[in-house]
Amino acid sequence: MSKINVLVVGSGGREHALVRACKASPMVAWVHCTPGNAGIAYDAQCHQIADTDIKGVVELAKRIDADLVVIGPETPLVAGMGNALRREGFKVFGPNAGAARLEGSKSYAKEIMRAAGVPTADSAVFTSFAAAKEDLDYFDFPVVIKLDGLASGKGVTIVKTRTEAETILKQNMLNECWEDTGTKILIEECLAGQECSILALCDGETVLPLEPAQDYKRIFDGDEGPNTGGMGCYSPVPHVPPNMVTEIIETVHKPVIAEMAKRGHRFCGILYAGLMITPEGPKVLEFNVRFGDPETQVILPRLESDLVEVMLACAEGNLAGHELEWKNESAVTVILASDGYPASSSKGDVISGLNYLYGGVEEAEVFHAGTARDGNGSLVTNGGRVLAVTALGWSILNARTKAYQAAEGISFLGMQMRTDIAKLPAEINIPQR
């Protein structure tokens, strides 16, 4: 078999991890990425086409004769980039727009879960502030308020009191003249338990799970402060053993894939289930339709199998019969974020202490997200989450020690880093958030 050309769409740490995995595949001749970032440029040929430019990406795929296109971010998936590429005959890893609605609309995801019998939190959908405010009487606090559409991981707020809930609803649903804007929101019961993320490869029928991971959404230690896109992650997850993963695949992923197929939306790509492990069993918090960030940066370094082989199998509809092999090591990822994140983001701050991509610590590597080059060629921050430092170790504690040792050697003005990622007493007590 001749070697193939792979195009990865996106510019974050997730895409850097995907690029690195594709580069390592013996099946691959060339890895391209658009638009990429300063770190991805070490591992792939980058092209300056925005990941939201569907026409531009299709033309690029033609120009480089891409044999497989891997779409990283959710926005182009929801907008139909997969549809456009498939119409031109390309093999694509990532769902079409119809299937991507599972992430593009939380109310639609709830509809699918109800139809498929998938366990999830009770919720109600509103487009009127007055109706939402009135129905707060029927919820026990705390409650969760979610924006229906895409919000880059920051559209979820846990509120403890009715007054706080009314404030959040007002901010999201009313304009300056205090009139309803038609914004769709969900009010949802707040589930108690321990979280985990289960990502699974899907070809429309077959489902193949990846190893579980647990991320940390809040910006500050102790799960304080506003939600972010994720400030760190670890894998495996001690409170999610293999038999529970099997149960989740059978009760969550497979019924959803079957329901989507029933509605004419074959799901090809990653179905990511964010779950709460409650006393009554696992319940779905949300779905994503792509690799998670930072879950990708913590899971892929543990993968022994060829990622390109199974992504291509998904795109071709022949995932059945494939198995995944995993390294015995644990992995921990620590995110280094820019000053002001998530409310704002400082850019142009020089990054120091980064030795190529690896931070100078054995079994640690660095994935670039918000990085760029300034006019002098120096590596600088480009806002948001800047770097993801991942380390492998013989235990979670060992991996955590290595990840922080590498992260603490890197610096830039205003750098934010949680110090409690994967801090598990006796490596069995999982921090709740």
The pLDDT value recorded for residue 155 is 81
The pLDDT value recorded for residue 354 is 85
262 token code pair: 């029933």
What are the residues whose beta carbons fall under 8 Å from the beta carbon of 346, sequence distance 6 or more? Answer: 338, 339, 340, 381, 383, 413, 414
pTM attached to this predicted model: 0.94
The pLDDT value recorded for residue 428 is 52
Q: CB-hemisphere CA count at 13 Å for 280?
A: 7
Q: Are 260 and 267 spatial neighbours (Cβ–Cβ below 8 Å)?
A: yes
Render pLDDT for 119-162 as a digit per residue (tens, 0 to 9): 999 999 999 999 999 999 888 999 999 999 887 766 888 999 99
Task: Delineate the domains of the chain, giving CATH numbers in brackets.
Answer: 4-96 (3.40.50.20), 122-189 (3.30.1490.20), 330-433 (3.90.600.10)
Q: CB-hemisphere CA count at 13 Å for 361?
A: 24
The pLDDT value recorded for residue 1 is 65
Phi-psi region of 289 (alpha: psi -120 to 50; beta: other; left: phi over 0): alpha
b/e sequence 132-153, b meaning 16+ C-beta within 10 Å: bbeebeebeeebbbbbbebeeb
The pLDDT value recorded for residue 153 is 67
The pLDDT value recorded for residue 175 is 81
Query: 3 to each of 15, 123, 315, how far by Cα in Å?
Result: 21, 49, 17
Q: Let me know the angle formed at the C-alpha of 240 by 361 and 196, rounded to the nearest 5 degrees.
A: 75
Query: 87 to each of 84, 90, 91, 95, 241, how far by Cα in Å?
Result: 5, 7, 10, 13, 41
The pLDDT value recorded for residue 220 is 97
Residues of the chain with pLDDT under 50: 427, 429-433
